[in-house]
Each structure stands twice: as C-alpha cells, then as structure tokens.
C-alpha cells in the first residue's frame, strides 16, 4: 500500500469514527445538546481537527442521513427485489423499512423520529442516492399497477405514502416502548402491511394528497398566473 492510499484509508477511518460518535451522541443526548466540541472529545480529537472533515454539525448529520439511506436500500437489496413477483416485491420493499428500524435503530431515530435535526429538504441537492431510491420505490409500485396487482386508478405516490406511514407508526411504537406487554411488534407490522395492501388492491378511496417533495426527481409544477 502506497503512502497516498494509506493516508486516504486513515482519513476515512477518522471520518467514520466522527460519524459513529456523532450518531450515538445525537440519539442519546439530543441533536441540539451536542456540539462539535463534544463529538471531538468523544473521539479524543480537537474541534479544529473535526472541521477538517465536516464544516458544521449539520454537515455531520447530513452525512449520517445519506449513510442511513444506503443502509436502508443498498444495491444488493434492490437487486434482490427485482427478482420477486410484483406483489411480493412491493411487500418486501416496505417490510425492509420496518426491519431497518429494528436493525439500525439509531439511524432510524435520526432519520424518521427526531424533530430537532435539520430537514433533509434544506440540502436535497446532495441526496442524489435518496432521490434515486425514492424513484425506484415509486417505479416498483407503478410496475405492480401495470401488471394488474393494484387498480389503474391508484397513485403510486399515495400508495407508497400509505404503506410507509403504517409501518413507521409500528416502528415508532416499538422503539418508544409503547406497545402492550403481550403485543408482538413484528406481527403488528405484518398485519399493518397486509391490511394496507389489501385495501389498496380493493380500491379503497384515499383522500390524502401528496404535494411536491424536495426528494422527488421532478421539479415542482410552476404555479399558474392569477
């Protein structure tokens, strides 16, 4: 290994140690209560050294959010989904979201629960991977519609929203220890997923509306002149 490669490896190791320390501190102490200095102390570095890796605490969070997106739907997961039948593909896409909350609770809490963290919408330009992933999820639902799994009148964006909200709810109940003593979170999540899919297949009327999201691939529509 050459000098340059060793330097790059060492720099990446320090960057990862910063992210690991920040993730743990953000979750345990709250984003607003954690400073660059506190993160630096955790890994025994100076605050000035951390600024050589991240310009601000917000930048550390955005890096964590992008890492979380890649853990949620990596290339291997996407490839496995493509090999499944249409309905099972949709089912596994959203089941993966619930499993992510079980396997990566700190990432999940930061990305979906913590209200104090910066909004990804502020820096959506840097989240190309998240935008592409969201597009792929919508495309999978559209393919299921095209193949007759769901009614042709169903909006894939709204279907995605319904499925996601249901499973997020179960995940939050589990993480916050709000389930009854005899409740099984996995069983509840499966029931929510299955009932929602059955409702979508049956053509249940959805009153919700989805506006433009910064993580959408397309730009928002131009308002009509009054």
Q: The domain spanning residue 26 has which CATH number?
A: 1.10.10.60
Burial profile 193-217: b = 16 or more Cβ within 10 angstroms, e = fewer: beebbeebeeeeebeeeeeeebbbe
Residue 161 falls inside a structural domain: yes
Inform me whether the pLDDT recorded for 186 exceeds 60.
yes
Residue 211 falls inside a structural domain: no
The pLDDT value recorded for residue 124 is 63
Encoded tokens for 64: 């964590």
CA gap 139, 4 in Å, rounded: 42
Does 118 share its domain with 180?
yes
pTM here is 0.81
The pLDDT value recorded for residue 70 is 86
- Tally of domains within the chain: 2
State the residue for tokens 């490896």. 9
Does 42 share its domain with 124?
no
CB 97 within 8 A of CB 140: no
State the residue for tokens 């290994």. 1
CA gap 39, 35 in Å, rounded: 6
CB 99 within 8 A of CB 91: no
The pLDDT value recorded for residue 128 is 74
Residue 224 falls inside a structural domain: no
The whole domain housing 120 covers 65-202
CB 162 within 8 A of CB 194: no
Residue 183 falls inside a structural domain: yes
Inform me whether the pLDDT recorded for 152 exceeds 80.
yes
Inform me whether the pLDDT recorded for 209 exceeds 90.
no
Does 38 share its domain with 140?
no
pLDDT band at 193 (very low <50, low <70, confident <90, very high): very high
Residue 127 falls inside a structural domain: yes
Residue 218 falls inside a structural domain: no
Does 21 share its domain with 104?
no
DSSP 179: S
Residue 160 falls inside a structural domain: yes
Going through 62-213 in order, the beta strands assigned E by DSSP cover none
What is the percent of the chain where pLDDT is above 70?
A: 88
Does 113 share its domain with 24?
no
Does 69 share its domain with 167?
yes
The pLDDT value recorded for residue 119 is 75
The pLDDT value recorded for residue 188 is 98
The pLDDT value recorded for residue 125 is 63
CB 98 within 8 A of CB 171: yes
Going through 74-135 in order, the beta strands assigned E by DSSP cover none
Answer with the one of 36, 55, 74 that is the final residue of a domain.
55
Residue 225 falls inside a structural domain: no
The pLDDT value recorded for residue 72 is 85
Question: Across 6-10, 73-77, 154-158, which has the greatest mean pLDDT?
Answer: 154-158
Inform me whether the pLDDT recorded for 182 exceeds 90.
yes
CB 141 within 8 A of CB 196: no
């Amino acid at each position: 290994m050459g000098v340059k490669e060793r330097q790059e490896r060492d720099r990446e190791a320090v960057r990862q140690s910063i992210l690991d320390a920040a993730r743990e501190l953000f979750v345990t102490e709250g984003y607003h209560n954690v400073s660059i200095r506190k993160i630096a102390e955790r890994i025994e570095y100076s605050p000035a050294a951390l600024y050589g890796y991240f310009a601000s605490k917000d930048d550390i969070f955005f890096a964590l959010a992008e890492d979380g997106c890649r853990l949620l739907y990596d290339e291997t997961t996407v490839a496995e989904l493509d090999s499944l039948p249409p309905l099972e593909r949709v089912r596994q896409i959203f089941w993966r979201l619930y499993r992510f909350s079980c396997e990566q609770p700190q990432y999940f809490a930061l990305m979906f629960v913590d209200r104090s963290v910066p909004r990804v919408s502020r820096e959506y330009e840097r989240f190309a991977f998240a935008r592409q992933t969201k597009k792929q999820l919508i495309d999978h639902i559209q393919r299921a519609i095209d193949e007759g799994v769901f009614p042709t009148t169903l909006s894939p964006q709204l279907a995605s929203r319904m499925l996601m909200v249901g499973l997020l709810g179960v995940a939050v109940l589990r993480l916050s220890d709000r389930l009854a003593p005899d409740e099984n979170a996995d069983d509840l999540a499966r029931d929510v997923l299955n009932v929602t899919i059955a409702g979508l297949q049956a053509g249940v009327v959805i009153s919700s509306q989805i506006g433009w999201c910064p993580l959408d691939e397309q730009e928002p529509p131009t308002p009509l002149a009054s």
